[in-house]
Amino acid sequence: MIKSPYFTEEHYLFKESLRSFFQKEINPHLKSWEKQKAIPKSAWKKLGDMGYLGICHEEEYGGLNADMFSNVIFNEELSRTLNSGFAIAIAVHVYMATNHISKAGNKSQKEKYLRPAIAGEKIACLGMSEPQVGSDVKNLKTYAEDKGDHFLVNGSKIFITNGIYADFMTLCCNTDEGISLLIVDLDNKGVTRNALEKIGWHSSDTAEIFLEDVKVPKENLIGNKGKGFYYLSESLQMERLVLAMNSIGLMDGVWELTIQYMNEREAFGKPISKMQALRHRMADIKSELEAVRQLIYHTAWQIEHGIFAVNACSMCKLLSAELHKKFVDECLQMFGGYGYMEEYPIAQIYRDARCAPIIGGTSEIMREIISKMSIDGQEFKKVY
């Protein structure tokens, strides 16, 4: 195996231990979780006990405060389980819902919400997308009215990963000073949650959440009022890079699954892996995967060195998501008719893959961000 210059021996040891943990504690249960459409609290606790739910968070609150390439490994191995519902539920909890508390929250918020989230005792979700707005953060309709000692929140959120089973939500909402972030306990009076039925990603729950006159204490405001858009703009870069890491990890796992099948499946007296038409198609997508991988690793290196790589993160998300969809489609073709059968894992993977160019900002949004920066010369500045 050719080792990457981005990784140290410690990184490879971490990869081995992480893969061993998933193979022992997670993989045997994924089929049942897919059928149950839920990840049990016990699984979250196991991840928490290992510190994995705080891999990017402070050690003071139980996290690992790991470097960027440990996070790369974590997300790749998370997706090598080949269950995107499980992978996205964990990624949203770690990198999207609790990230703002870690970055801009105060000590009280970190003790009350971040610590139990890292321990796997509380599940978190991010409330950003809305029914009529999508992810157009500047035009959010959910409003938090300042009532002196509390906010009164009204509005709704949609496509919320972990929304049914989450204990709290990092809510993106409008206030009299602009977009703000609030921590909302989801057992509060006035909160209603409806489960949404999806094509795939069945292990993760997805919800529509309604907030009607929900009282949120002033101390649950994350950072400064009116600064939420800037917090989100910075955090979204890591979100997009994490999703790109997840895509390449998934593609690595699908590659192994497909090559194993091609070596075992015979037609016309030889393994189909020896048929030139098929092996050349696989060579094409493998080459594309390695090219995207290097872009993602270089972007991770930039983030590690303090570079606010907005354009590169958008490119990583765009290219990895589009390849993710194509890659799985090509691999399913190698299975022939069996690829369309539910008993084969590739069928579930194929359903799940369609969401890659949608979640975390659609491919169209990524192209517009890249256009603004590359063509119009627009720049974005760090906030945290």
Q: How many secondary structure helices (H) and strands (E) does the chain include?
A: 13, 10
The radius of gyration of the chain from alpha carbons, rounded to an integer in Å, stands at 21
**Catalytic positions, written as ranges:** 239
Contacts of residue 154, defined as CB under 8 A and 6 or more positions apart, other chains included, come to 142, 143, 145, 211, 212, 213, 214
Q: Which of 350, 332, 250, 365 is nearest to 296 (CA)?
A: 250
Copy the structure tokens of residue 353. Answer: 């893959």
Largest CA distance in the chain: 78
DSSP state of 272: G
Asked if residues 300 and 227 have their Cβ atoms less than 8 Å apart, the reply is no
DSSP string for 114-154: IHHHHHTSS-EEEE--BTTTBT-GGG---EEEE-SSEEEEE
CA angle centred on 283, ends 317 and 338, rounded to 5°: 85
